[in-house]
A and B are shown apart, each in its own frame.
Chain A
Amino acid sequence: GNSVTQMEGPVTLSEEAFLTINCTYTATGYPSLFWYVQYPGEGLQLLLKATKADDKGSNKGFEATYRKETTSFHLEKGSVQVSDSAVYFCALSAYNNNDMRFGAGTRLTVKP
């Protein structure tokens, strides 16, 4: 079945450090890929998405490129801020099922 696997956390970085959170997927056909972010006490909210191979999603300085050859959608940011501290979820939805499949989540803590 369709699924996503993301790197386990937690991840702790200093402010202005480079961030990478790995995500790989398994799916039939051509899924759409997403990164969601969850701040403390809140629901998940969409950070970025990509709907086809080689698409790059970007938002708030975060980027992720849909790599079909490696079935990956790694999240990156060049310089993290304390306000980026949150839990990040990789997710997938595919034509053969309408529900969104989420990874386990990666907790990021950014220290000043």
Chain B
Amino acid sequence: GAGVSQTPSNKVTEKGKYVELRCDPISGHTALYWYRQSLGQGPEFLIYFQGTGAADDSGLPNDRFFAVRPEGSVSTLKIQRTERGDSAVYLCASSQAGDYNEQFFGPGTRLTVL
């Protein structure tokens, strides 16, 4: 399909482990965003890429969280030393170049840290 895809759809891990979450944006979209949605809350901004560079990473909660987008397309969100509080749905979105364009969301990855 032509939409944003995310893998895996579900990830269960143990406290202290490392996880990687992948996002494939819509082809041609230069802007890519990561959000985190906890139960009963709206999506919360984590980081925004314009091309290969992180234009705004002010939403990353701490230095255990890191994201890359080396070729300006696929992005990986990396979480080190996972904690139970990291359990949430991690959403990826992409948009065309330029500010304030409509963001298209993927289905999310549900992360559960035991």
Answer whether A and B are interacting partners: no
Chain A residues at the B interface, C-beta cutoff of 8 Å? none
